[in-house]
Structure 1
Amino acid sequence: MINFNLTTSKNYLGVQSQLNTLIQKHLPAGSYTETTLEYVEGALNFTMFVMQQADVLMSHGAADKNYHWKKYANKSFVNEQTRRKHLFVPGNLLVDRISQSRKLPSFNRTNVHSVGWPRLDALIALQNEYDKVKPATGKKNVLWAPTHDYNRKGANADVISSYPDFEPYMEQLAVHYDVNVSLHPRNRKDKKPTYQQLLEADVVISDLGTMVWEAWALGKTLIFPDWIIKERMLKHKKNSAEWRIFAEDYGLHASSIEHMKDVIAESPAMDTRTKEFFEYYLDPKYLGCSGKRIADLLLALDK
């Protein structure tokens, strides 16, 4: 039996439900249960939250953010106390990084599994349908989708978000483009996951969260506001995939709002070097079929 160990955090109830649905649709009826903050003895327990007890952990977000290295009282959450035996990650970059980490000695290529990102199963299908009926407005649609600013303490914060600093620049972009904002659920009352605004966007402005990887996967023009976040990014989240985006200059980076306007106007396609990095992080084998990959793997591990 597979047990989904759920969180009660109101900020993540929507994404938790969405992700679990995309996995459970590929599981046989009667093969799984759900509990809230409870480890079920005798079952294969699965969770998306690092502080909860479960045999299998997959992050609730697609981003790295050094999630698997989180610590409390100087102990990793990915340890015996949390009963962790397997990790599910988006692709081979994290398989390699975790397997080679001396801080996570219990994990190697036999129990760190590349599974893709299940939310893209739905997003890719919805994007294909939307593109068939997309209205021709004559203006590019620009979406600002920052990660949350939780625990934000200025320049030394270990949470690197363009929120709220980028907000004053939206008015300038609105002169030339249709602009929209999708704040992280921690920063808004509506906790539903973002998807319609992402589907409609031609250009996405973001920083280091899940939206980065989803925007790239959907073929959006993705731009990082370096003048706001790069300095902080290079000081924190070191060695994470998102840190590498800034340290090694992957993708499109704007050094000012004027530079960003130029990049939006040009909207160049993803270059080969960035594409290779993206596919190293997010396994292309499971784009659109990640939910089935996870379900099949859970069933195999349960045996």
Structure 2
Amino acid sequence: MPALPVTPPTLDEALDGAQHSNPMLAQAEKGIDIARAGLRGAKAESLPTIGAFAEATRSRDQFFPDYRADAMAVGVRGRWTLFAGGRTAAKIHEADATLDASEARAREAREQIDAAVISAWTNLKTANLMVEASAARSAATAQALRSVQLEAKVGAKPTLAVLDAEREAAAADAAAIEAEGQRMVAAWQLNALAGQITPDKRLTMHKDWPQMAKELSGAIKEVRLGAPDVMNNFSAMASAATANGALDSKTKELIALGIAVAIRCDGCVAFHAQAAVKHGATREEVMDAMGLAIYMGAGPSLMYAAQAVEAYDQFAAA
């Protein structure tokens, strides 16, 4: 799982960061600046306008060479509209109302961001506690499983008890993974609200999916040589399952990619992302399929959905 992003260490720093860096607040503040400029423009229409001028003329007469009539004038002109039928006053009132509305929207945005940051901060703290509790539960169930296995070896516990302990341990491990996923989501949500995610930042590549598919193909070839009957039947089943039918092959590959995410199979993600690209799936279609996989599998599926999109992007760019 990717490393947890660095988050503001205190709630006060998160709130301060949001007030200074959150894009929604920045937009609201710009709205206030625009409204103030509009108000200044409306008031300026009621003020006098003053301009300086300088003029020079030079006259000659072709019949009287000695005739000269040169002139120069420098002065100031002013204009002041004393009555405009209420038009200027109406513009000022309108601009003033627009400014009030912009300031009200900015106040509302600040309150909403503060509430969202506090909620995200609380969610992250809760997620941290859930991770700790899930880890403790996972360790306890693992210890219990070992104890049951030892007791079963000496005949003190039946095989069914071992199976129950294994089920509890697996459930605890799944809960721990889900808790870590929820913590990851909470951390990114807090950073987004605090304005710590900028458009020029890009997620680094975590896995080389084309290389993974290439290496797995070589490994699968060895299995095919060792178990040809099984692999031939498996290939026939794969061909039949992904062939065009009531659903076309592209849709089937998107379904397979969603299942690969749900069962958290890296190799399956690599092969079905590659097949989705081959059959012409768009990034938007992959995203739609990932949304359904996340809905069905919650936090763990979210982590693998991010990897599936990364795999799709790599194969699409190849």
State the TM-score, normalizing by the size of structure 1: 0.24
State the TM-score, normalizing by the size of structure 2: 0.23
The structure in which a higher percent of residues are strand is 1
The structure in which a higher percent of residues are helix is 2
**Higher RCO, 1 vs 2 (CA within 8 Å, ≥6 residues apart):** 1
